[in-house]
């Protein structure tokens, strides 16, 4: 056995180096494609014709569904923000998912709710709906009060009450840009394929100045943990998702903001209750549904416009819960759709996006952490020379820098960048620093998430909200 | 442990062909370093350019914004034109921006005044020339601006673009034609439908609605030729709109 162990170690060492090369190579190519896509999108904005689009009677109305569970701190502000979007026809459906705090009372007080006989028109099974309410102040607001059943269940209840052909699911703690719905409806109306889902960039609101439910000044938080996440969000949304979207291989549209055509979502039975990554699950099932029906002329798109702002974890405990949940959700969804793996029937999704996510984003974290340990050990025993180790370390560092700086640059190109030079310089500095500690921390959290998945541990966890109303 | 390490070293040396060469890693590091540096410098330049450009344009805009007040106060056309006349090389685009931004929101006599001013200041001709530009951005912007200015003389140029441009620019061209609102162009919309993807036809129909009652028969023709491209919801809305338009036309 002893004879094979070193050989195995050596092989692992080689695998890790190639893993690193392929992973970063793919990321670099995707970033390049994303750069081109963002550039084209921004050029097109110059002659976008939003005004005509919004005026048109054929522009579809949208139902905005907000599941809320224990969101008393900011729910009234969020809903008030949603009721003042620049869009012709839309309704807001807030689903109070059995909150144990004053969420419903806050809504009742702020919008003068009264019980109504409106019945759910949909067919998705959900937990018991106690009562639906309409607002005396806003005709397009509906509040659904139901027993607690989780986010997916709440979204399904909202879908049952929605009247419009498209719906936008958003988190109860986000701030939407006033033109968010315009931005997402344009690809639906003007694409040469049937667009069944659209996502946009989620920006970090921590540190920003918020007034009356609007981000009035973009400011970067001084908390390093938040700054690292700002870079991560830029990289993930602007490089990753924009790049994957070019092949119609996008597997996730953030649960914080996503717009979907209702019919295909209903056809697949809505959101799947009990899933941790309900957003990724829905998008993957939509792909699966369309492909298995033989319909390849559809698109799930991502637009590089900032559509909403959200609060990210500002301490390690909350970050840990969030990342573990994300990792668990990702592995769950990947596990449930293994039929996609290298299946040409699913196009670029099956041949590229799914295997990439499975090998590099899902299980790759184990190789990544093993890589740190084994590479250090190989260097220690002399199997890897110090020169090689340093050169490899430099390559890894610069590669990380290139990816992060591409994200930062794309962030600068899109609307509402960080206005001050010092904030941009700080971002660049954090892009260097994230390789020393933050990246390793997130890898460990992902390992813990993988552990949770393997041993079926944990649930949604709780994000501590400070409420964005106070951010002045 | 020592024996184990020895074996490890031996096996490692044996299988060196699987390993990346030191030179490759060094070269990769150097290339990546320069890419990172280039990105850093590019971002600085980009930011600086954006900053100074926006500041400069905002400053120049302030010179021309009072002209819009003159338009709203219905002052003589010559005064308006004098206030909008570019005062420095490069100000044409600022003047155009000021005018177009306001024309999007204005109606009636102020809009007509701005249209006349745009013509007299040579902005229409400038954009007509832009339709033949090699740069896609310039062509797209020219179509958009001519649409907002409702320049009837742009119709021929835009129709030419409609024939040769890719899908996204076709849409810009159609939007501009719809904004200009010359009903004689409606047959081109129906013709364009043959070359557009079915998913885009509801959008095309929505643009045709911009022509008002005159579009009714052509929309019907479009629906007849591409019935499957219109989902029931869109079909219902379309029929409602065309019926309302027809009623409006019948009213004295």
Q: Select from A21, A189, A402 the Cβ nearest to the Cβ of B36.
A: A402
Residue A393 neighbours by CB under 8 Å, 6+ apart: none
Kindly identify which residue of chain B lies nearest to residue A427, measuring between CA atoms.
B40
Interchain contact A36–B (C-beta under 8 A): no
Q: What is the pLDDT along chain A (472 residues), one digit of tens a residue?
A: 455 656 666 676 677 778 888 888 999 999 999 999 998 888 888 777 777 788 888 899 999 999 999 999 889 999 999 999 999 899 999 999 999 999 999 999 999 999 988 766 778 999 999 999 999 999 999 999 999 999 999 999 999 999 999 999 999 989 999 999 999 999 998 888 999 999 999 999 999 998 888 899 999 999 999 999 999 999 999 999 999 998 899 999 998 999 999 999 999 999 999 888 899 999 999 999 999 998 888 999 999 887 899 999 999 999 999 999 999 999 999 999 999 999 999 999 999 999 999 998 888 888 888 888 887 887 887 777 888 888 888 888 999 999 999 999 999 888 888 989 899 999 999 999 998 889 999 999 999 999 999 988 865 555 455 555 444 3
For residue A352, count other CB atoms closer than 10 A to its CB: 16
Contact B28 A395 (CB under 8 A): yes
CB contact A128 to B (< 8 Å): no
Neighbours of B16 (CB within 10 A): 9
| Count of A-B CB contacts under 8 Å | 144
Put simply, the answer to whether A56 touches B206 (Cβ < 8 Å) is: yes
Which of B175-193 are b and which e, b meaning 16 or more Cβ less than 10 Å from the residue's Cβ? bbbbbbeeeebbebbbebb
Listed in sequence order, the residues at least 6 apart from A183 whose beta carbon sits closer than 8 Å to its beta carbon are A177, A200, A303, A305, A307
pLDDT confidence of residue B240: 85
Looking at residue A471, its pLDDT comes to: 45
Supply B177's token pair. 């034609």
Residues of chain A found within 8 Å of residue B22, distances taken between Cβ atoms: 385, 387-388, 391
The alpha-carbon gap from A151 to the nearest alpha carbon of chain B, in Å, equals 29
Partner A contacted by B32 (CB < 8 A): yes
> Is the pTM above the cut of 0.80?
yes
Q: For B123-145, what is the mean pLDDT?
A: 93
Query: Cβ contact (<8 Å) for B4 and A5?
Result: yes
Contact with chain B for residue A197, Cβ under 8 A = no
- What is the 3-class SS of A238-268, one letter each residue? HHHHHHHHHCCCCCCCCCCEEEEEHHHHHHC
CA distance A133 to chain B (A): 27
Beta-carbon separation of A58 and B202 below 8 A = yes
* A52 with B171: Cβ contact below 8 A: no
Name the residue of chain B whose CA is nearest to A190's CA. Answer: B200
Q: Nearest Cβ partner of A47 from B143, B205, B237?
A: B143
Q: Map tokens 């981000």 to a residue.
A: A215
Residue from the list B26, B168, B205 with its beta carbon closest to the beta carbon of A44: B168
Closest residue on chain A to B142 (Cα): A47
| Nearest alpha carbon to residue B31 among A30, A240, A394 | A394
pLDDT of residue A4: 60
Query: Could you report the predicted ipTM of this complex, rounded to two decimals?
Result: 0.84
3-class secondary structure, B15: coil
b/e for A270-300, b at 16 or more Cβ within 10 A?
bbbbebbbbbbbbbbbbbbbbbeeeeeebbb
Neighboring chain A residues of B210 at a CB cutoff of 8 Å: 52
Interface residue A59 vs chain B (CB under 8 A)? yes
What is the pLDDT, as a whole number, of residue A171? 92
Spatial distance between the Cα atoms of A136 and B161, rounded to a whole number of angstroms: 51
Q: Cβ of A57 and B209 within 8 Å?
A: yes
Mapped onto helix, strand or coil, the DSSP state of residue B227 is helix
Task: Give the residue from chain B lying closest to A9, CA to CA.
Answer: B8
Under an 8 A CB cutoff, do B40 and A428 touch? yes
The mean pLDDT value for B45-67 works out to: 94
Q: Which pLDDT belongs to residue A472? A: 37
Tokens of A57: 């009677």
**Beta-strand relationship, A141-146 and A90-97:** parallel
Mutate to test the interface with B, among A46, A49, A50 (most CBs of B within 10 A): A49
Contact A278, A169 (CB under 8 A): no
Residue-level pLDDT at A46: 78
Give the pLDDT confidence score for residue A457 in this predicted structure.
80
Report CB contact under 8 Å: A409, B46.
yes
Confirm or reject contact between B168 and chain A (CB < 8 A).
yes
């Amino acid at each position: 056995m002893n004879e094979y162990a070193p050989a195995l170690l050596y092989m692992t060492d080689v695998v890790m180096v190639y893993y690193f090369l392929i992973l970063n190579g793919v990321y670099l190519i995707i970033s390049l494609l994303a750069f081109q896509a963002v550039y084209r999108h921004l050029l097109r904005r110059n002659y976008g014709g939003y005004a005509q689009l919004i005026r048109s009677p054929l522009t579809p109305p949208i139902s905005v569904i907000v599941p809320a569970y224990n969101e008393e701190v900011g729910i009234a502000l969020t809903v008030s923000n949603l009721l003042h979007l620049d869009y012709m026809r839309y309704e807001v459906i807030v689903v109070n998912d059995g909150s144990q705090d004053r969420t419903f009372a806050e809504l009742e007080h702020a919008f003068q709710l009264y019980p109504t006989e409106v019945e759910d028109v949909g067919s998705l099974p959900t937990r018991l709906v106690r009562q639906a309410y309409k607002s005396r102040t806003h005709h397009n607001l509906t509040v659904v009060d139901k027993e607690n059943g989780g986010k997916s269940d709440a979204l399904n209840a909202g879908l049952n009450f929605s009247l419009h052909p498209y719906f936008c699911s958003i988190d109860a703690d986000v701030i939407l840009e006033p033109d968010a719905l315009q931005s997402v409806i344009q690809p639906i109306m003007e694409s040469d394929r049937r667009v069944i889902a659209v996502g946009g960039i989620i920006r970090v609101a921590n540190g920003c100045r918020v007034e009356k439910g609007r981000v009035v000044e973009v400011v970067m938080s001084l908390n390093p943990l938040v700054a690292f996440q700002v870079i991560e969000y830029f990289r993930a949304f602007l490089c990753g998702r924009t790049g994957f979207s070019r092949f119609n291989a996008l597997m996730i549209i953030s649960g914080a903001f996503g717009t979907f055509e209702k019919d295909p979502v209903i056809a697949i039975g809505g959101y799947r209750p009990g899933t941790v990554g309900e957003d990724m699950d829905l998008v993957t099932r939509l792909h699966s549904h369309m492909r298995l029906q033989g319909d390849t002329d559809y698109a799930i798109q991502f637009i590089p416009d900032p559509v909403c702002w959200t609060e990210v974890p500002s301490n390690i405990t909350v970050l840990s819960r969030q990342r573990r949940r994300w990792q668990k959700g990702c592995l769950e969804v990947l596990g449930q759709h293994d039929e996609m793996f290298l299946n040409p029937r699913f196009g670029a999704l099956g041949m590229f996006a799914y295997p990439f996510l499975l090998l590099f984003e899902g299980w790759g974290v184990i190789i990544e952490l093993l890589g740190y340990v084994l590479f250090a050990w190989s260097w220690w025993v002399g199997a890897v020379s110090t020169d090689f180790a340093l050169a490899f370390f430099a390559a890894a560092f610069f590669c990380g820098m290139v990816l992060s700086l591409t994200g930062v640059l794309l962030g600068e190109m899109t609307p509402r960048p960080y206005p001050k030079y010092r904030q941009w310089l700080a971002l660049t500095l954090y892009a260097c620093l994230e390789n020393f500690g933050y990246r390793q921390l997130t890898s460990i959290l992902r390992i813990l998430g993988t552990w949770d998945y393997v041993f079926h541990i944990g649930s949604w966890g709780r994000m501590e909200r400070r409420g964005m109303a106070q951010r002045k | 442990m020592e024996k184990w390490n020895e074996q490890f070293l031996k096996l490692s040396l044996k299988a060196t062909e699987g390993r990346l060469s030191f030179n490759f890693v060094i070269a990769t590091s150097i290339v990546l370093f320069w890419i990172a540096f280039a990105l850093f410098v590019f971002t600085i330049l980009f930011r600086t350019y954006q900053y100074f450009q926006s500041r400069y344009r905002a400053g120049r805009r302030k010179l021309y914004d009072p002209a819009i007040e003159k338009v709203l106060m219905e002052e003589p056309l010559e005064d308006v034109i004098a206030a909008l006349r570019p005062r420095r090389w490069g100000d044409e685009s600022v003047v155009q921006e000021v005018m177009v931004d306001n024309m999007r929101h204005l109606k009636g006599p102020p809009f007509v005044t701005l249209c006349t001013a745009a013509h007299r200041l040579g902005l229409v001709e400038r954009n007509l020339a832009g339709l033949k530009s090699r740069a896609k951005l310039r062509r797209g912007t020219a179509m958009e601006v001519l649409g907002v200015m409702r320049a009837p003389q742009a119709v021929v140029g835009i129709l030419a673009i409609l024939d040769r441009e890719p899908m996204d620019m076709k849409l810009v061209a159609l939007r501009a034609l719809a904004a200009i609102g010359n009903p004689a162009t409606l047959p081109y919309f129906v013709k364009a439908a043959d070359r557009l993807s079915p998913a885009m036809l509801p959008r095309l129909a929505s643009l045709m609605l911009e022509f008002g009652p005159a579009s009714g028969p052509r929309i019907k023709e479009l629906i007849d030729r591409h019935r499957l491209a219109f989902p029931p919801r869109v079909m219902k809305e379309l029929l409602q709109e065309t019926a309302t338009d027809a009623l409006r036309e019948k009213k004295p």
